[in-house]
Amino acid sequence: MHNTPLLSVKDLKVFFKSDQGETEAIKGISFDILPNQTTALVGESGSGKSVTSLATMGLLPKKQSRIGQESQILFEGENLLTLSAKALRKKCGKDIAMIFQEPMSSLNPVFTVGSQVSEILKLHTPLNKQERKAKVISLFTEVGLPNPSEKYNAYPSQLSGGQQQRVMIAMAIACEPKLLIADEPTTALDVTIQKQIIDLLEDIRKRRNMSILFITHDLSVVSEIADQVIVMRYGVIREQGKAQDVLHSPKDIYTQALLHCRPRLNSRPYRLPVTSDFMNQDAEKISDIGSLDHLPQRERGLTGNEEIILEVRNLKKYFHSSQGLFKRKTFIAVKDASFTLAKGKTLGLVGESGSGKTTIGLLLMRLHEANGGEILIDGEDILKLSDQAFANYQRKIQIIFQNPYASLNPRFTVGQILLEPMQIHHIGENDAERKKIALDLLQRVSLPESAYYKYPHEFSGGQRQRIAIARCLTLKPEIIICDESVSALDVSVQAQVLNLLQELQDEYNLSYIFISHDLSVVKYISDQVMVMNHGDIVEIANSDELYQNPKHPYTQKLLAATPNDF
């Protein structure tokens, strides 16, 4: 009985319709998910991972898509593709559940998170209102949400990205499904929470005899959770088998390429390999490319003699929230933060969600108003400058935001997005000269000239992040704050963006503050690492020293939660 698949996908073909005709997104794939096992579906953006999961849930747009006539998706022997909308909704609400990739667009902003999880229980269980609330608070506790009773009445906007994702996981497991489809559930989470979520999902799977289809681009996570691995590219399955076999002895060249693109804690090559380095190569060359240890290594760290471009002294930030008519609660986001940034170097900034990392980035940009302290650029305290005077400094310090989907204006073409900051800051004699600068920057970030005339929605996440980097460079800044700027990218695209950031630093002597929860990426790109916890800076050290000999217990905890290289 154990070997009878819970879910069996047979010859799945998915076509998307457009004015130009039909495009085959999924090209006849077949795979099984066994009871009480975790199957990882791995691949880059556009490989068909999420389309496969949406087809299983019956969530593909009917007017814009079509599933092949011979295709079957059998759940406990029943073909989901032949069920009525009502029957499928009942089954997908209770027996099959899904955690979506982007929690902010999945949660309704006008309802509290507690009421949204409670709604699932109302639809699928006989629990009364009080029992539902108790169950929701229990679920919030189970997924590691702090102060679960308080969070019951919170709105999505009041939670961090990691906390929103935990709400989504609570919602998905509320009815104890037989199959949980998790679409990139740990992508935006810091390492300790990622480990908690992976351990939680594994614990629930064992306790409930549940199966998991775990969709991800992070192979280090796959090594922690998966029994079986399926590797997809361009709508085709390139390789599938037991996790140990696929991760340690991959047969397909594309799988080998994905494994070698990841930054590793024990290696720092001048340039990370990308998938195009591997495709169409013979096995011997692949072995050479993949041996990161044998590639020329980049030295990192500070000697103490570097020129300081940015100095922060005793920076403070408080947030206030109302509690009833007359009460106000004060939350200290940043406590007396002091640090320096050396010219042409990278300061990595790590910590869990809510530690104050992004708040520091926003304070440096004056997008939040500081409650005290100094931010010195070229000896000038930018916090004391008028808005007009600060405009001159805005050219020196820029930020690449975490979410390229939200940070680009959907109504503007890429050309308009790049021209706008140059027009505001009077860069270039006229729009013709500015257009030339914009086209040069697009080429610099490996985007074609045709991108200039397109809109953001026409690009993948990785391409949008390149557009955001190009926009940043229009002002020729000296300091760039990278706020989780590679966290949502595939490993190969992440490698390309990290290589690009490094090339730009080498070429223009840029200084970076690199905010991330991915400690492998931070070690790869940083000269110095700063660790934050609950608004406090708990440790600052050269990156190699910090990773080899972490002194603070919190740093030790972060490193212990980092998935091992395999």
Question: Is residue 458 situated within a structural domain?
Answer: no
Q: Are residues 363 and 216 in the same domain?
A: no
Task: Give 458-497 pLDDT, tens digit per residue.
Answer: 887 778 888 998 999 898 899 999 998 887 677 877 888 8
pLDDT band at 280 (very low <50, low <70, confident <90, very high): low
Q: Are residues 23 and 135 in the same domain?
A: yes
13: Cα within 13 Å, side-chain hemisphere: 11
- Is residue 89 within 8 A of residue 28, CB to CB? The reply is no
> Of the given ranges (133-142, 425-434, 450-459, 555-564), which has the lowest mean pLDDT?
555-564
> Cα–Cα distances in Å, from 309 out to 41, 300, 347, 377, 396?
44, 18, 12, 6, 10
Q: Please, what is the Cα angle at 335 between 334 and 337, to 5 degrees?
A: 85
pTM: 0.80
pLDDT > 70: percent of the chain: 95
- Is residue 53 within 8 A of residue 92, CB to CB? The reply is no
> Cα–Cα distances in Å, from 111 out to 124, 372, 445?
19, 35, 40
Per-residue pLDDT, 532: 93
Choose between 407 and 115: higher pLDDT: 115
CATH of the domain at 38: 3.40.50.300
What is the number of structural domains in the chain? 3
Mean confidence (pLDDT) of the chain: 87
The two beta strands, 7-18 and 65-67, are: antiparallel
- Using alpha carbons, select from 353, 361, 403, 395 the residue that is nearest to residue 515: 361
The set of residues, in sequence order, having a beta carbon less than 8 Å from that of 486 and lying 6+ positions away, is: 465, 494, 497, 498, 516, 518, 521
- Is residue 205 within 8 A of residue 36, CB to CB? The reply is yes
- Asked whether the predicted pLDDT for residue 323 surpasses 70, the reply is no
pLDDT band at 402 (very low <50, low <70, confident <90, very high): confident
Residue 201 burial (C-beta neighbours within 10 Å; 0-12, 13-18, 19+): buried
Per-residue pLDDT, 236: 96
Query: How far, in whole angstroms, is CA 216 from its chain's centroid?
Result: 10
Question: Is residue 77 situated within a structural domain?
Answer: yes
Query: How far, in whole angstroms, is CA 425 from its chain's centroid?
Result: 31
- Using alpha carbons, select from 354, 351, 215, 300 the residue that is nearest to residue 502: 300
- Asked whether the predicted pLDDT for residue 155 surpasses 80, the reply is yes
Distance between CA atoms of 485 and 329, rounded to whole angstroms? Answer: 32
Q: Are residues 194 and 240 in the same domain?
A: yes
Q: Are residues 266 and 239 in the same domain?
A: no
Distance between CA atoms of 162 and 150, rounded to whole angstroms? Answer: 17
pLDDT band at 327 (very low <50, low <70, confident <90, very high): confident
> Of the given ranges (33-37, 189-193, 254-258, 370-374), which has the lowest mean pLDDT?
189-193
Distance between CA atoms of 422 and 424, rounded to whole angstroms? Answer: 6
Question: Is residue 417 situated within a structural domain?
Answer: no
Q: Are residues 386 and 314 in the same domain?
A: yes
Q: Are residues 337 and 315 in the same domain?
A: yes
Per-residue pLDDT, 354: 77
- Asked whether the predicted pLDDT for residue 288 surpasses 70, the reply is no
Per-residue pLDDT, 188: 65
- Hey, what are 134's tokens? 């108790």
> Of the given ranges (134-148, 320-334, 479-493), which has the lowest mean pLDDT?
320-334
Question: Is residue 451 situated within a structural domain?
Answer: no
Query: How far, in whole angstroms, is CA 16 from its chain's centroid?
Result: 26
Question: Is residue 483 situated within a structural domain?
Answer: yes
Q: Are residues 339 and 363 in the same domain?
A: yes
- Is residue 88 within 8 A of residue 41, CB to CB? The reply is no
Which of 296, 329, 358 represents a domain boundary (last residue)?
A: 296
Which of 296, 325, 360 represents a domain boundary (last residue)?
A: 296
Per-residue pLDDT, 325: 66
Question: Is residue 229 situated within a structural domain?
Answer: yes
Question: Is residue 71 situated within a structural domain?
Answer: yes
Instruction: Specify the 3-state DSSP secondary structure of 247.
Output: helix
Q: Are residues 18 and 121 in the same domain?
A: yes
Q: Are residues 319 and 286 in the same domain?
A: no
Which of 261, 296, 331 represents a domain boundary (last residue)?
A: 296
Task: Give 52-77 pLDDT, tens digit per residue.
Answer: 999 999 989 888 899 999 999 999 99
- Asked whether the predicted pLDDT for residue 330 surpasses 90, the reply is no
Q: Are residues 118 and 229 in the same domain?
A: yes
- Asked whether the predicted pLDDT for residue 338 surpasses 70, the reply is yes
List the beta bridge partners of residue 512.
Answer: 346, 480
Q: Are residues 51 and 157 in the same domain?
A: yes
Distance between CA atoms of 397 and 164, rounded to whole angstroms? Answer: 30
Distance between CA atoms of 365 and 393, rounded to whole angstroms? Answer: 9
- Is residue 112 within 8 A of residue 155, CB to CB? The reply is yes
Q: What is the residue range of 264's domain?
A: 252-296
Mean pLDDT of 88-102: 84
Q: Are residues 241 and 256 in the same domain?
A: no
Residue type, 63: K
Per-residue pLDDT, 1: 44
Question: Is residue 450 situated within a structural domain?
Answer: no
